[in-house]
Amino acid sequence: MVVVKKKNGKWRVCIDFTDLNKACLKDPFPLPRIDQLVDLASGHARLSFLDAIQGYHQIPMNDADQDKTAFITPRETYCYKMMPFGLKNVRATYQRMVTKMFGHMIGKTVEVYIDDMLVKSLQKENHVADLLQVFNILRESRLRLNASKCTFGVSSGKFLGHIVSRRGIEPNPDQIAALADSAEPKNIKQVQGLTGMVAALGRFISKSADKCKPFFRLLGKMSKFVWNEECSVAFQGIKAYLSTPPCLSIPNPGEQLFLYLAVSDHAVSAVLVREFGQEQKPVFFVSKEMDETELRYLPLEKATLVVLQAAKNCLTISRSLGVEYKPRAAIKGQVLAEFLAEFQYDPNNPSLTIPAEAQLGLITGKWELFVDEASNSKGSGVGVVLVSPEGLIAGSSFKILGFQQRSRARDERMSVYLSTVRLLLAKFESIHVAQIGREHNSHTGILAKLATALESDVQQTVCIETLDRPSFQNQGISICTISSQPSWMDPILSYLVDNKLPEDRKEAKMIKRKAPKYWVSKEGLLYRRSFIGSYLLCADALKYVRECDKCQRFAPMIHQPARELNPLSRPWPFAQWGLDIVGPLPRAPGNKKFLITATDYFTKWIEAEPLSNIRDVDTKRFFWKNVITRFGIPWAAISDNGTQFDSRLFKGFCSDLCIKNFFSSPGYPQSNGQPETSNKIILNGIKRKLEEAKGKWVEELPSVLWTHRTTARKSIGETPFALAYGVEAVIPLEVGIPTTRTTDFAVQTNEDNLQKDLDLLEERRDLATVRLASYQQRIKREHDKNINHRVFRIGDLVLRKVMANTRRPNEGKLGPNWEGPIR
């Protein structure tokens, strides 16, 4: 926690929510573009600038999320009830709220960027009414304003770092003053600060990339910092230019705009202008320094580059307007005088001369479309060749998999295509359809045959597309049949109402014996005759138990799984390890009382080491010494949420080696069941070897590990030793009882036999993978038989299991198993 003093003398509490932000998903709600808001805010007669007090602290936190914002002070632990600063999605959350509040007014009389609000009016007389409408919305939403930061009824003001007025957009005087008062840079860091200030004012500076060229050279990786006279001249030139910055004008809807382009040796620039009477006023400037690839562009490509750059910087203006190229006319504004350099064509090269008619006119002529089809056992194919008036040929081929060989144009399924074609043909001025001989349509026929005979691996030199289903389909109606499970009351109702009995004699006899005990009302409800004379309405026993409060509170514990089992497996040895810690155990020599284990998910190989402390340093050392240096860098490590594995030191160590960390849920530790199984195997093996001297477990640990590594595991059908090294280890039993391997051992053939075993290791591991998958499927089938699906939604009332710390001492085992309800 850090307390920072604000400009107004108040204090702001800053909390580090780094870990919480990593666990939160990104809110995709978009923030408005600042340039777009500034453009929309200018050109109005009256403006009012509003600022919300305390920013995000006016939005309450969800009750379930308040504990997640907890932080520790020297005295107490606190959490936020209102949304604090520093969280990942606070900006998007606040923007969503204000967008919903002023949804119908945004873009008309209100512009909002998070907590900065602007009320604008084209006419002075309407401004009070617009403000009153905004105040009513703020009052209904209980959103308070900071009166000391609000300004009402002015003709210009500062909004999102710009000065907006009816005249247009002007740069922030504070930014210009900061640049004008700055001294010449003396190191690279100061040059970076200078270029940052120029970039902030880039839309107001004509050909900024050309003016800042000496600065950009100093920022190169291979450049040394040398501030020469050229840099000083450019620095003073920027200051002189910004001493009288231009005022950017805002175009009216539907107004014709002019984009002037300039291409130099190392940069491209553009200015968008509008004509206002006999004067041209700039709308925005854009400039870009070309990289090594762009410097090799042709002159026309460089001009296209600057058009693309201008479109990116002015999407709101250029998105819906048509573009027409014209030769540059006379320039009417002083601010455009610098735009004299544009790309020139070589007059000696007549191939680059473009007639005016070709520049401004549209090419008209007749297009020709050739179509052919082919069918065989592999499917149907269509070939299409389109020829432009200039003679350019575009070929395409389609392979249709959804049609049968007998399909022809007369098929009813083609009626949808026919209606679609008729709709498209109606849009042409004229069309002529004629059937030509195959000898005059050879190109299209080849494409059609190619589509049916093409193999998937053939490199396509023409446009070939495979259609798995028809492009146009009739709208059909889907009918879903919902069946309900029969009730025990249905046979009795059928007998009493319709006198129908089941076909089974035993079941019919049982229904006849039960039926006299029941009675059916006029509404068709089944009642049971009571011995006291009243009728008891029959209901489902399961439904009754679920609605009974005492039945639920004293219900037995649920041991059935709630969801299907998802087994974890790795297809290769030593790619995924499970980590866990066992202890405390009886104190052993060296003050050893903990045991850390690592289990490979594929070979079931276990590494274990006794520890006196379970710190993150010990975990890192064990993982490096026993896993990485022996078996290589794994792909992932799975552990619980202990501080030894979730610490910044251990996670940083894994991140440096590109090892992924996965953690099991604290509420469901069975998700990391492999280490738990390994711990049980080790503890059971140690128990059998120890009697009274429990402190000798450290001495017995190697023999227990050796026994496990040389014993075939049921899940993989192999020993961990064999899957790791390719051969079986010689165990102590083979020393006392001679075996073929020990008696027939020959030094001359041993090397060859080992090489053969290594050659078969790949196959042995593949078979182990198959056995492991089969074993996991069997376990999954048995597990999923007893699933008790439980679906919970946010806001539901549920009962919670009574834990040992929440059980009342005087109730003991006679108390309820569940408590609540809680939301």
Is the preceding peptide bond at 821 cis, omega within 30 degrees of 0?
yes
Q: Do 213 and 238 fall within a single domain?
A: yes
Name beta bridge partners: 50: 117
Could you tell me which residues come within 8 angstroms of residue 10 by beta carbon, excluding any fewer than 6 positions away? Answer: none
b/e burial code for range 617-632 (CB count within 10 A of at least 16 → b) = ebbbebbeebbbeebe
pLDDT band at 69 (very low <50, low <70, confident <90, very high): confident
Amino acid in position 744 = D
Question: Which pLDDT score, from 0 to 100, does residue 38 have?
Answer: 84
In a domain, residue 606? The reply is yes
Instruction: Read off the DSSP letter of residue 149.
Output: G
Instruction: Pull the structure tokens for residue 279.
Output: 């004067």
What is the DSSP annotation of 158-191? EETTEEEESS-EEE-HHHHHHHHHPPPP-SHHHH
CA distance 671 to 665: 7
Q: Do 660 and 686 fall within a single domain?
A: yes
> Does the pLDDT at position 491 exceed 50?
yes
Specify the DSSP element, H or E, that contains 371. strand 368-376
3 state DSSP class of 286: strand
CA distance 700 to 207: 79
CA distance 736 to 370: 87
Could you tell me which residues come within 8 angstroms of residue 153 by beta carbon, excluding any fewer than 6 positions away? Answer: 46, 47, 48, 127
Q: What is the CA radius of gyration of the chain?
A: 40
Question: Which pLDDT score, from 0 to 100, does residue 408 have?
Answer: 44
Asked which of 156, 183, 208 is the last residue of a domain, the reply is 156
Mean pLDDT score of the chain: 75
Q: Do 692 and 730 fall within a single domain?
A: yes
Within 436-529, residue ranges assigned H as helices are: 442-453, 490-498, 505-514
Q: Where is pLDDT greater, at 344 or 635?
A: 635
CA distance 120 to 151: 12
Pairing of strands 660-663, 636-639: parallel
Question: Which pLDDT score, from 0 to 100, does residue 410 have?
Answer: 58
For 381: left if phi > 0, alpha if psi spans -120 to 50, otherwise beta; the answer is beta
| Lookup result for tokens 């490509």 | 301
Q: Do 671 and 633 fall within a single domain?
A: yes
Give me the sheet containing 463-467, strands edge to edge.
368-376, 379-387, 393-400, 463-467
Question: Which pLDDT score, from 0 to 100, does residue 365 have?
Answer: 61
> Does the pLDDT at position 135 exceed 70?
yes
Q: What is the CATH number of the domain that holds 238?
A: 3.10.20.370
Spatial contact of 536 and 530, defined as CB atoms under 8 Å apart: yes
In a domain, residue 814? The reply is no
Could you tell me which residues come within 8 angstroms of residue 421 by beta carbon, excluding any fewer than 6 positions away? Answer: none
Asked which of 102, 121, 156 is the last residue of a domain, the reply is 156
Give the chain's domain count: 5
In a domain, residue 485? The reply is no
Within 534-672, residue ranges assigned H as helices are: 541-547, 549-553, 616-622, 629-631, 643-646, 648-656
Spatial contact of 262 and 286, defined as CB atoms under 8 Å apart: no
> Does the pLDDT at position 398 exceed 60?
no
Q: Do 56 and 123 fall within a single domain?
A: yes
Q: What is the CATH number of the domain that holds 87?
A: 3.30.70.270
| Lookup result for tokens 């026919």 | 418
Q: For the purposes of burial, counting CB atoms within 10 Å of the CB of 499, is it exposed (0-12), middle (13-18) or buried (19 or more)?
A: exposed
Asked which of 347, 380, 412 is the last residue of a domain, the reply is 347
Q: Where is pLDDT greater, at 541 or 496?
A: 496
Question: Which pLDDT score, from 0 to 100, does residue 483 have?
Answer: 57
Spatial contact of 251 and 193, defined as CB atoms under 8 Å apart: no
Q: Do 636 and 672 fall within a single domain?
A: yes
| Lookup result for tokens 């029969």 | 486
Name beta bridge partners: 607: 598
> Does the pLDDT at position 182 exceed 60?
yes
In a domain, residue 746? The reply is yes
Spatial contact of 790 and 783, defined as CB atoms under 8 Å apart: no
| Lookup result for tokens 């597990």 | 783
Tens digit of each residue's pLDDT (9 = 90 or more) over 289-319 = 888 888 888 877 888 888 887 777 665 555 4
3 state DSSP class of 183: coil
| Lookup result for tokens 């000798």 | 696
Question: Which pLDDT score, from 0 to 100, does residue 354 have?
Answer: 37
Question: Which pLDDT score, from 0 to 100, does residue 194 have?
Answer: 83
Q: Do 46 and 91 fall within a single domain?
A: yes
Instruction: Pull the structure tokens for residue 203.
Output: 């839309």
| Lookup result for tokens 């001369």 | 353
- % pLDDT > 90, the chain: 0
Distances (CA, A) of 213 to 44, 235, 263, 289: 37, 10, 14, 8
Instruction: Pull the structure tokens for residue 246.
Output: 């231009």
Pairing of strands 279-289, 368-376: unpaired
Q: Do 614 and 763 fall within a single domain?
A: yes
Instruction: Pull the structure tokens for residue 24.
Output: 């939160």
pLDDT band at 350 (very low <50, low <70, confident <90, very high): very low
Q: What is the mean pLDDT of the segment spanning 143-171? A: 85
Spatial contact of 679 and 597, defined as CB atoms under 8 Å apart: yes
Tens digit of each residue's pLDDT (9 = 90 or more) over 564-613 = 777 766 667 888 888 888 878 888 888 888 888 888 888 888 888 888 88
Instruction: Pull the structure tokens for residue 37.
Output: 């808001």
3 state DSSP class of 129: helix
Q: Which domain holds residue 628?
A: 576-770
Q: Do 145 and 203 fall within a single domain?
A: no
Helix axes 229-243, 173-181, angle to 10 degrees: 150
Could you tell me which residues come within 8 angstroms of residue 502 by beta carbon, excluding any fewer than 6 positions away? Answer: 491, 508, 511
Could you tell me which residues come within 8 angstroms of residue 133 by beta carbon, excluding any fewer than 6 positions away? Answer: 105, 109
Could you tell me which residues come within 8 angstroms of residue 111 by beta carbon, excluding any fewer than 6 positions away? Answer: 32, 37, 40, 41, 117, 118, 120, 159
Q: What is the pTM of this model?
A: 0.44
CA distance 330 to 634: 69
Residue length, the chain? 823
Q: Do 393 and 520 fall within a single domain?
A: no
3 state DSSP class of 322: coil
Question: Which pLDDT score, from 0 to 100, does residue 461 have?
Answer: 43
Q: What is the mean pLDDT of the segment spanning 60-66? A: 85
> Does the pLDDT at position 73 exceed 50?
yes
Nearest-5° Cα angle at 115, 114 to 118: 95
Q: Do 147 and 179 fall within a single domain?
A: no
Tens digit of each residue's pLDDT (9 = 90 or more) over 420-449 = 777 777 777 777 777 666 555 555 555 555
Tens digit of each residue's pLDDT (9 = 90 or more) over 237-287 = 888 888 888 888 877 777 788 888 888 888 888 888 887 777 778 888 888
Helix axes 127-141, 90-101, angle to 10 degrees: 120
Within 397-489, residue ranges assigned H as helices are: 415-425, 442-453
pLDDT band at 18 (very low <50, low <70, confident <90, very high): confident
CA distance 83 to 90: 7
CA distance 285 to 204: 6
CA distance 309 to 202: 13
Amino acid in position 369 = L
In a domain, residue 291? The reply is yes
Spatial contact of 617 and 557, defined as CB atoms under 8 Å apart: no
In a domain, residue 352? The reply is no
Q: Do 11 and 108 fall within a single domain?
A: yes
Q: What is the CATH number of the domain that holds 617?
A: 3.30.420.10
Spatial contact of 449 and 381, defined as CB atoms under 8 Å apart: yes
CA distance 721 to 327: 80
Instruction: Pull the structure tokens for residue 451.
Output: 């589509």
Tens digit of each residue's pLDDT (9 = 90 or more) over 658-704 = 888 888 766 555 666 777 788 788 888 877 777 666 677 888 888 88
Pairing of strands 2-5, 526-529: unpaired
Neighbouring CB atoms inside 10 A of 44's CB total 22
Nearest-5° Cα angle at 790, 784 to 792: 145
In a domain, residue 165? The reply is no
Strands (DSSP E) along 100-220, which ranges?
110-113, 116-121, 151-154, 156-159, 162-165, 169-171
Tens digit of each residue's pLDDT (9 = 90 or more) over 204-232 = 888 888 888 877 777 766 567 778 888 88
pLDDT band at 459 (very low <50, low <70, confident <90, very high): very low
CA distance 452 to 148: 76
In a domain, residue 483? The reply is no
